[in-house]
Amino acid sequence: MNKPPLWTKSKARLQFVYANPGKNYNWLFLPGGPGLGSESLNGLAEILGLPGNVWHVDFPGDGSNTTENDAEYFSNWSQALVEVASALPDVILVAHSSGGMFVLATPVLEKIIVGLVLMDSAPSASWQQFFAEYVKENPLVEAQKLQTLYEKNPSNETLKQLTIACVPYFSTKISLQRITSFLESLPFNYKTHLWAAENFDRTYQAQWTPKTLPTLILAGEQDHITPIKLFSEADNFKRDNVLIHEIKDGSHFPWFDNPTQVKKVFEAFCQKLK
């Protein structure tokens, strides 16, 4: 069933993916990156078969949702996120990587949504130190060259090349080729990526902890960017309403490595919603 996209006042885009019978939840998938489009979550949405309606969300200026001034429009991400969460009833946000960080930086969402899934994300900017140490211990010469090139001459193509060169950092050996191929097919937006690096990433700190909201937090066992311990060792996330799962043999995109377990933890979360 094809539906036209929904647009918010801030030019965020919601694209309908599929609907299943059952509870009329609206699952809104928010990508990471930033600058990486919601197409990055296509494979995940397909394997889950969630009850209700599934939507992909792109902030204005993110991925393929380009504007006349991407950085300026993206700078209103907080307003856009609230508009997205308010656009439909019974919203459950499913946010990957930096998408989850934007969610945790927006405390008003706790009063709007009925559920939250954070995938391979982090509660603070401390993930950058963890990742930097891993990169220092596991240098990739080609990635270092492209990082220098990107800093001197940023573009969508250079950002894509850099991301692909870094695939060994956020994949497993088994999924390396599949994740590389999937990244090659995605839209990138360097202006959004640069804005976030300058204005959000370095100072990010979660502004709320779900107190009663049903919440699922998952990350791959081999996620070297945002490991699950960032949440599992945080006392404020040790709550009865929060499920925390490490995906065995999983990377930063764990549904490529262990789709069976990812599906099972989503099924357990659906039971918690009931």
- Residue labelled with tokens 């307003």: 79
Whether 122 contacts 226, CB under 8 Å:
yes
| pLDDT more than 90, % of the chain | 93
Q: Is the pLDDT of residue 274 over 90?
A: no
Closest listed residue to residue 265, CA positions, set 212, 217, 222? 217
pTM (2 decimals)? 0.96
- Taking only the tens place, the pLDDT of each residue in 199-231 is 999 999 999 999 999 999 999 999 999 999 999
pLDDT at 36: 85
What's the pLDDT at 1?
52
Give residue-wise pLDDT tens across range 13-23: 999 999 999 88
Confidence tier at 162 by pLDDT (50, 70, 90): very high
Query: Average pLDDT for residues 121-129, to the nearest whole number?
Result: 96
Residues in the chain: 274
CA 234, 31, 261, 268 dihedral sign is positive
Cα gap 183→178, rounded to integer Å: 9
Q: Give the mean model confidence (pLDDT) for residues 116-121.
A: 98
Rg (CA), the chain: 17
